[in-house]
Amino acid sequence: MNTRLAVATHILTFLQTQAGQPATSELIASSVNTNPSLIRRLLSQLARAGLTVSQMGSGGGALLARPADRITLLDVYNAIDDKGEVFALHDQPNPQCPVGRYVNAVLKARIVEAEKALHDQLAQTSIADMAEDVVEQVRLGARTG
């Protein structure tokens, strides 16, 4: 896939570390090291999915819409990815050939299973977990420099 899941997760994890303080797209962008506009584009997707809320105007910014332990990577994945499909089928197999006629339907069933396994695993991690892991890394990093 692309890096959008990673950036979106970064955003949410960042918001969690802000302890309820609204974060501007510019502030988030400085952590992600990219353009504020790109952050806003992702934030609007996250807001549409109900994961964040944004406040316009001075003193505004983005906040998590609910506790971080109730936002999973699967939620993020679903918010970001339009179709939620890792694999695609090919367009026009030859229906005159038995394999061409049925292989897509057969494969589809297997792919759905595989993607379900992926989703289930993504659902095991919350943004709270992510933030805790980051804090732990900071603690470890502080000792070794």
Tell how far CA 52 is from the center of its chain.
Answer: 12
Q: Give the position of tokens 């992600």.
A: 32
Contacts of 135 (CB under 8 A, 6+ apart): 17
Phi, psi angles (nearest 5°) of residue 27:
-65, -45
Helices (H), 18-126: 25-32, 36-48, 73-80, 98-122
- Provide the minimum distance between the beta carbon of 139 and DNA in the complex, in angstroms, as a whole number: 29
Return the residues of window 64-83 that contact its own copies according to CB under 8 A. 73
Of the candidate residues 54, 74, 75, 127, the single one contacting DNA (CB under 7 A) = 54
Of the candidate residues 19, 58, 139, 141, the single one contacting DNA (CB under 7 A) = 58
Span near its own copies by CB under 8 A; candidates 10-18, 45-53, 54-62, 63-71: 10-18
What is the distance between the alpha carbons of residues 23 and 54, in angstroms, rounded to a whole number? Answer: 9
- Provide the minimum distance between the beta carbon of 36 and DNA in the complex, in angstroms, as a whole number: 6
State the residues that interact with its own copies by CB under 8 A.
1-3, 5-7, 9-10, 13-14, 17, 30-34, 73, 86-94, 97-107, 109-110, 113-118, 120-122, 124-125, 129-130, 133-135, 137-138, 141
